[in-house]
Amino acid sequence: MINLKEQISLFKIIGGQLSKKVECIAIGGSAMMFYGVKNSTKDVDLVFLKIEDLEDVKEVLFESGFDERKNVKGIFREDEEAAKPIMMDGKDTRFDLFLNEVIGFKIHEKTIERLKEVHEFGIFTVKIASPEDILMMKGCTERERDRDDAAELIRKFNINWDIILDESSRQTKIGIAAFPILLYDFLTELKENYKIDVPKKITKELIIMAEKRIEELRKKDKLIRVTKYYKK
């Protein structure tokens, strides 16, 4: 586990050792620490938009004593293997490096427009994903602590639910076709188990969206298998 101060120190080390400008997006617990919603995190999740940037950071982490985990299991989404993150294990923490997508959730222009914070560590720039995007990415996993984090996000921020609906619709086309179903399940669970206030209109819209998409796929004779991601 690391706290925000230690995370900043690690980013400074990376920034000091890079040879060219690198940009990435912090998501998950790492981003939540910057927002002051979380005190510590087990893994630092970073999304890169260029493979060269990811490779550069991976190399710097290796030089700093982080080892690449070799036995990362593939994650299957709708019969397709989603991109595996590169996991760099350190003594107290782990870096999960993603390229363009997080467990099927695609990162695109709109995600970048919604960024709330930018942190510069020399030539290493870390942008912070919006609470809405973090919430949606958390919806793709089945880890208990991701639910805790999501509940905390909804409690502490004015979540713009229109963004959630808009993005869910977009993800069905560019990412996971069943994304609204996953999100519906996730939000309903939060509502029931954490007593979180999720507008009824939103869950209703998500169901309509999911049914519409599934009907479209059925017409094309494309059956999908909905699976969630479980990371140990």
Q: Footprint of another protein on this chain (CB under 8 A)?
A: 4-5, 8, 11-12, 15-16, 34-36, 115-122, 155-158
In the numeric block, which tokens belong to residue 173? 């086309």
Of 36 and 219, CB closest to another protein: 36
Rounded least distance, CB 156 to another protein, Å = 5
Strands (E), the chain: 2-3, 22-27, 40-41, 43-48, 67-68, 75-77, 80-82, 86-89, 94-99, 101-102, 105-106, 117-121, 124-128
To another protein, the closest distance from the beta carbon of 218 in angstroms equals 41
By beta-carbon proximity to another protein, the closer residue of 17 and 100 is: 17
Closest distance to another protein from the beta carbon of 124 (Å):
9
- The smaller minimum CB distance to another protein, of residues 153 and 214, is found at 153
| Nearest to another protein of 2, 209 (CB atom) | 2
141: helix, coil or strand? strand
Least distance (Å) from another protein to the CB of residue 51? 24
What number of other Cβ atoms are within 10 A of residue 62's Cβ? 12
Work out the end-to-end distance of the chain between its first and last CA atoms, rounded to an integer number of angstroms: 15
